């Protein structure tokens, strides 16, 4: 599948977000803001070409696709939040937020907070 991005290799999250059409940019920016609201001290970087947020370990990542934004909080988080995610397509460690639906920003915050707790209390690894 072709990426929606206008540039091949962004160097940071700002460049990644700016490379998309406005509607997608707005969605990506909102996700980023809510992740940082839940994890204000998180380190931002690009991992595997997508925005990633870390403390000692990766907390969450996300990526824009043609019809959705993929949110990747780890399989354990998807499992714990399965009931709240029942309206979304999920995989082992992924969630698809379709572009034609309102983003569940509070839920994204909750999942990020849960992931922080996993790392702090259990030294939970990525994947």
Q: What is the pLDDT of residues 25-76, one digit of tens each?
A: 999 999 999 999 999 999 999 999 999 999 889 999 999 999 999 999 999 9
pLDDT at 125 over 80: no
Q: Is residue 7 part of a domain?
A: no
pLDDT at 1 over 50: no
Buried b / exposed e over 55-72, threshold 16 CB at 10 Å, is: eeebbbbbbbeeebbbbb
Domain with residue 19: its CATH number is: 3.90.1150.200
Q: Is residue 126 part of a domain?
A: no
Which residues, 6 or more positions from 66, have their beta carbon under 8 angstroms from its beta carbon? 1, 2, 4
Structure tokens at 69: 């934004």
Strands 68-72 and 89-90: unpaired
Tell me which residue range forms the domain holding 102: 13-120
Question: Residue 115 and residue 126: Cα distance in Å, rounded?
Answer: 10
Q: Is residue 4 part of a domain?
A: no
Domains held by the chain: number: 1
- With tokens 């934004």, the residue in question is 69
Q: 71: closest CA among 21, 40, 85?
A: 85
């Amino acid at each position: 599948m072709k990426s929606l991005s206008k540039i091949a290799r962004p160097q940071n999250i700002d460049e990644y977000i700016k490379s998309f059409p406005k509607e997608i940019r707005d969605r990506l920016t909102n996700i980023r803001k809510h992740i940082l609201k839940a994890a204000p001290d998180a380190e931002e970087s690009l991992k595997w070409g997508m925005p990633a947020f870390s403390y000692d370990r990766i907390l969450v990542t996300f990526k824009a696709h043609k019809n959705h934004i993929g949110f990747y909080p780890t399989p354990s988080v998807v499992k714990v939040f399965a009931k709240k995610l029942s309206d979304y397509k999920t995989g082992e460690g992924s969630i698809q937020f379709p572009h034609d639906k309102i983003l569940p920003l509070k839920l994204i915050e909750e999942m990020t907070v849960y992931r922080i707790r996993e790392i702090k209390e259990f030294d939970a690894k990525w994947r």
